[in-house]
Amino acid sequence: MVVLPILWTIALAFQRVRLLDLSSAGFFGEYTLANFDGIFSSQGFWTSLLTTLTYSVLGTASSIGLGLVCALALRNRFRGRTFVRAAILIPYVAPVVAATFVWRTMLNPQFGIVNHWGTRLFGWDEPIAFLSQVSSEVSLLGLEFSVPTALLTVITFEAWRSFPFAFLFLMARLHAAPAALEEAARVDGATPSQRFWHVVLPQLLPTIAVLSVLRFIWTFNSFDDIYLLTGGGAGTEVVSVRVFNALTARGNIGAASAQAIVLAVVLAVLVGLYLRRFSAREERA
């Protein structure tokens, strides 16, 4: 009796794969490689794969970095720590639709609060269309850089939305770290930064590694945020949004499934490589 649900879950897992075959078989008769051929020869897919990679790597790194900084700042007790910790988690649990809508309003060039204060305080010449501008010219030290505005904005949003997750796990790990090690380092005269670098960070590394994998996978597959923020325009079309557009706008189920499969395979390869490297390092350590 108890095994049944499990078997059913497994069946579901396999059914999905079979459904995929069913769908293509049902709609296209023979399953050919034509869809994949179409993907690999078109420019659009590669561009969106590169966008996906950039988005995932930068989004993951910045959210974990931010989470680590917060976890360290909240490590020692202070009045109101419980409140601060709960507040930090709000962006992660809030409905994605509401969060993206607020951001879109805040960044709105006409009446958004960011552009309003930006033009007054930071001397921007004109409002910046954060979510619809592919790139903008920024001059630093006399050099002109082209910055992918919209892509950076969605990466910032991703960091804002998912750093609480990293924070939560790093915080839990920090509390589990034995105090004696740090005490010993302090007695030996290690400064705070040395204590962090040589004592605390090594203990956090396994957690950071797991977080990197999880966050990378989720960011790589994420659809909601970018679809709701930009609709995939302005150079932010990640593969999942592309799949969705192929499925709904063009009704091209074959191309949509093929792209989704390529996405999953690329992800599996990347995560596999990472895990292999990481486990090799573990054995050496």
Partner 1 sequence: MTSTAQENPKGSLRASPDSRWTRDAVETRLFAVLRWVVIVGVLVVTLFPFYYMAMLSVRSLDEVLQDPGALFVPPSELVISSYQSVLASPEVGGQGFLVFMRNSGLVALGTVAVALLIGIPGAYAVSRLDFFGRRQISALFLAVYLFPSILLAVPLFIFFTRIGLRGSLIGLVIVYVSQVVAVSIYMLRNYFDTIPVSLEEAAAIDGCGRLDTMRRISLPLAMPAITANALFVFMIAWNEFLFALLFLVESRDRWTVSLGLSQLAGSIEIPTTVLMAGSVIVTIPIILVFFSSERLLTEGLTAGAEKG
194, two tokens: 């040395």
Task: DSSP for 77-134, please give it.
Answer: --TTHHHHHHHHHHHHHS-HHHHHHHHHHHT-TTT-HHHHHHHHHS--SS---TTT-S
Out of 101, 124, 145, 197, point to the residue binding partner 1 (CB under 8 A).
101
- Which residues, numbered 27-86, are part of the site for partner 1 (CB under 8 A)? 27, 69-70, 72-74, 78, 84, 86
| 199 is an interface residue for partner 1 by CB under 8 A | no
Among the candidate windows 36-44, 128-136, 140-148, 163-171, which touches partner 1 by CB under 8 A? 163-171
| 272 is an interface residue for partner 1 by CB under 8 A | no
Q: Which is nearer to partner 1, 77 or 139 (CB)?
A: 77
Alpha helices (H) along the chain: 3-28, 34-41, 43-73, 81-93, 96-106, 113-121, 149-176, 179-187, 192-195, 201-221, 224-229, 239-248, 253-284
Among the candidate windows 55-63, 134-142, 147-155, 168-176, which touches partner 1 by CB under 8 A? 168-176
Out of 59, 148, 164, 232, point to the residue binding partner 1 (CB under 8 A).
164
| 11 is an interface residue for partner 1 by CB under 8 A | no
Residue position matching structure tokens 């561009």: 47
Cα–Cα distance for residue pair 80/145, rounded to 1 Å: 43
Out of 206, 269, 273, 275, point to the residue binding partner 1 (CB under 8 A).
206
Residue position matching structure tokens 């705070």: 192
Q: How far is the CB of 137 from partner 1 (least distance, A)?
A: 25
Nearest alpha carbon to residue 21 among 241, 223, 261:
261
Contact pattern for partner 1 over residues 211 through 250, marking x by CB under 8 A: ------x--xx-xx--xx-----------x--xx--xx--
Out of 34, 50, 94, 269, point to the residue binding partner 1 (CB under 8 A).
94
Q: What is residue 190's three-state secondary structure? A: coil
Q: Which is nearer to partner 1, 23 or 135 (CB)?
A: 23
Q: How far is the CB of 253 from partner 1 (least distance, A)?
A: 6
Give whole-number Cα distances, 175 to 38, 63, 153, in Å. Answer: 52, 20, 33
Out of 60, 63, 207, 230, point to the residue binding partner 1 (CB under 8 A).
207
Q: How many residues make contact with partner 1 (CB under 8 A)?
A: 88
Q: Which is nearer to partner 1, 117 or 145 (CB)?
A: 117
Q: How far is the CB of 149 from partner 1 (least distance, A)?
A: 19
Q: Which is nearer to partner 1, 33 or 143 (CB)?
A: 33
Cα–Cα distance for residue pair 278/210, rounded to 1 Å: 10
Contact pattern for partner 1 over residues 129 through 148, marking x by CB under 8 A: --------------------
Side chain identity at residue 141, one-letter code: L
Residue position matching structure tokens 């380092």: 185
Residue position matching structure tokens 């030290």: 141
Cα–Cα distance for residue pair 52/238, rounded to 1 Å: 5
Q: How far is the CB of 90 from partner 1 (least distance, A)?
A: 6
